[in-house]
Structure 1
Amino acid sequence: MSVPTDLGKSISLIDLLDLGMKERTGSYVLHAEELTIVETSASPSIRHLLKGLEKLHIDPKDIKNIIVTHIHLDHAGGVGFLLEKCPNAKVIVHPRGKRHLANPTKLIQGARAVYGKMFDALFHPIFRVPEGRLITKEDGDTLKIGENRILTFYDTPGHANHHFSIHDSFSNGIFTGDTIGVIYPQTKINGFEFVLPSTSPNQFDPNAMLASLERIEKLGVEQIYFGHYGMSEKPKDVFNQIRFWLPKFLDTGKNILKEYPGGTYKEKADHIAKKLTQDVTTFLDEKGLTPDHEVYQYIKVDLQVCALGIVDYLAKH
């Protein structure tokens, strides 16, 4: 268990050791009059979240708000479990995600279909959230959590239709979940921050993703708080990298589908992931990162999921 990271602006980051990997998925604690948590990850991560709160000398009973940017299980799968430890908290979710937290049956079925025998180790248990403890926030809605701290919720599809991003007035930062990608803190060498889009199935939409990026860009934020993993204080670099990689992801997908028109869904995704990994390796090699760098443990997992989303999107369009 690592010590929570003080990010400044009364925000702490707790490493949730998702998939047993350090700096994979994080939970943010906003130290305000109304103690607020953003993201929970899956249920196996909740013990790490609770230990992080203990190290911050926070009693879970004092938490007032638990916010999930979207309902994918690596962000919200553990929220029902955590809620049992936080009797005074409400869960804030996108309107399109509310019914799935109240009744997670479809979430569980969908995840079991994808992960099979690995499901229990990755996500079990998943508990429903009582409807009386669920709050939805529409586009532009706000939540005051302190005298000088207002959270504003923005509908930001692209990664998922049930996704919002949350602007924090105190830090002038924004919690973006997966909408504008994943940042890899392992690459922070000489100030270099590497970011890739997150194009997982089955609601990935590149046009919506770019529109959400532009909306966030216009807010003039100074920090971006990613679901995976940590903070960037270089928003312009983040926006530029997503704009650079997203077309490459799509072009690679289109080329692979032409090259392997008769392949299965998974075979096509495997070919896309292999080609994207080659492109990323070439790019990072120019930055001085060798192919045996630890970051590839993370990138290869992500690109396999991204490739599935690309195949799914192109099949629909």
Structure 2
Amino acid sequence: MQEVSISSLDNRIHLIDGYDLGIARRTGTYVIDDEHLTLIETGPSPSVPYIKSGLDSLGFSLEQVKFIIVTHIHLDHAGGVGLFLQECPNATVVVHPKGARHLADPRKLIAGAQAVYQDSFNDLFAPVLAVPEDRLEVKEEGETLRIGAQSELRFLDTPGHARHHLSIYDPVSHGMFTGDTVGVHYKPLMDDGIGFFLPSTSPNHFDPDAMRRSVERIRDWKLDSIYFGHFGMTKNVDVALDQVEEWLDVFMKAGKQVFSEKKGHEELAARLRTHVEDYLRTLQVNDNHEVYTFINLDMHVCAIGIMDYLKKVQV
């Protein structure tokens, strides 16, 4: 286990690094220190020890955890929720209505991930445990959750990355926890003063039109902050949303070209990587920068999702 890393984003919201895939600054758990201690995302089960250690370092007990919210049920965001819940006796899991049944019975989630990750599945995700139905709370569009006397989170149905995706508005910070709907924030580049954001187009529910609508809907809130599933916060909200929309156009144009050439996702991933490399070189980012650990993985998964979408609509 690596050293626990906690970022205090303000005096109320903290981010515990979950070291998803064994990589720092990839996926984390947000902790909202309010009357009812609330967590957003757990990451996969190998991240659970980091959450526990992080809460301990922040001075919280597992008994204090009241709500565990998952933006969506992909295993890198919610795969560890069943395991973590076992040690949080007073907690309820909050989820999109289309995701609840898969948390209660995760066999399809497991089978899908095993097909993709094969022999690596156990190391990356196991165990994926069911959440008892009586500890699930569904939140739909416009519904709220009171976590403090002055704090009432509001839930938005924001498809595009997944059909079962919630974004969560926090009025205290005037910020939004967006999971993957409005893309990925590449923290290693931000550490160099470069804000860089790409869409997350992974399979199998990726829908570019729905994603654009969700991006524009979130833009309309005129937020002070966005809290990304991958990874961390930005206050450059319009810059982030602009980049995600611009790169979504680039991704889709490249995808349609590869699809028309009857080539596969490997070719698309290579072209997306080239587009990103060419752009980052204009910002003097070295080709060996650590950010490519993230980008190489993301372009592979994004390419699969784009090609899956194009096959469905037969562009």
Q: Note the 1:95-114 alignment, pairs <5 A.
A: 95-114=97-116
1:57 Cα shift? 1.1
Task: Please point out which of 7, 10, 14 is paired with 2:16.
Answer: 14
Mapped partners of 1:9, 1:218: distance in 2: 26
Q: Note the 1:97-246 alignment, pairs <5 A.
A: 97-188=99-190, 191-246=193-248
How far does the alpha carbon of each residue in 1:95-154 deviate from its partner, in whole angstroms, 9 at most, with x for none? 000000001111111111111111111110011000000000010000111111110000
Task: Please point out which of 291, 298, 301 is paired with 1:295.
Answer: 291
Mapped partners of 1:124, 1:189: distance in 2: 32
Task: Tell me, yes or no, if structure 1 residue 279 matches structure 2 residue 281.
Answer: no
Structure 1 unaligned runs (5+)? none
Mapped partners of 1:51, 1:236: distance in 2: 34
2:5 corresponds in structure 1 to 3
SS across alignment from 1:81: helix
1:65 corresponds in structure 2 to 67
RMSD: 0.9
1:43 corresponds in structure 2 to 45
Checking the alignment, whether the CA contact within 8 Å between 1:9 and 1:170 is kept in structure 2 is: no
How far does the alpha carbon of each residue in 1:211-267 deviate from its partner, in whole angstroms, 9 at most, with x for none? 0011111111110000000000110001110111001101101111222x2x4xxxx
Task: Tell me, yes or no, if structure 1 residue 310 matches structure 2 residue 302.
Answer: no
Which letter maps to 1:308?
Answer: I
% identical aligned pairs: 49
Structure 2 unaligned runs (5+)? none
Normalised to the residue count of structure 1, the TM-score between the two structures is 0.97
1:189 Cα shift? 5.2
2:87 corresponds in structure 1 to 85
Q: How many residues align?
A: 311
Checking the alignment, whether the CA contact within 8 Å between 1:90 and 1:133 is kept in structure 2 is: yes
1:255 corresponds in structure 2 to 257
Checking the alignment, whether the CA contact within 8 Å between 2:4 and 2:53 is kept in structure 1 is: no
Mapped partners of 1:171, 1:141: distance in 2: 18
How far does the alpha carbon of each residue in 1:151-207 deviate from its partner, in whole angstroms, 9 at most, with x for none? 000000000000010000100000000000000011115632100000000100000
Checking the alignment, whether the CA contact within 8 Å between 1:9 and 1:171 is kept in structure 2 is: no
Mapped partners of 2:4, 2:108: distance in 1: 34
Normalised to the residue count of structure 2, the TM-score between the two structures is 0.97
1:3 Cα shift? 3.2
1:29 corresponds in structure 2 to 31
Checking the alignment, whether the CA contact within 8 Å between 1:182 and 1:196 is kept in structure 2 is: yes
Mapped partners of 2:73, 2:47: distance in 1: 15
1:9 Cα shift? 4.8
Mapped partners of 1:109, 1:258: distance in 2: 31
Checking the alignment, whether the CA contact within 8 Å between 1:178 and 1:226 is kept in structure 2 is: yes
Checking the alignment, whether the CA contact within 8 Å between 1:3 and 1:55 is kept in structure 2 is: no
Mapped partners of 2:259, 2:93: distance in 1: 41
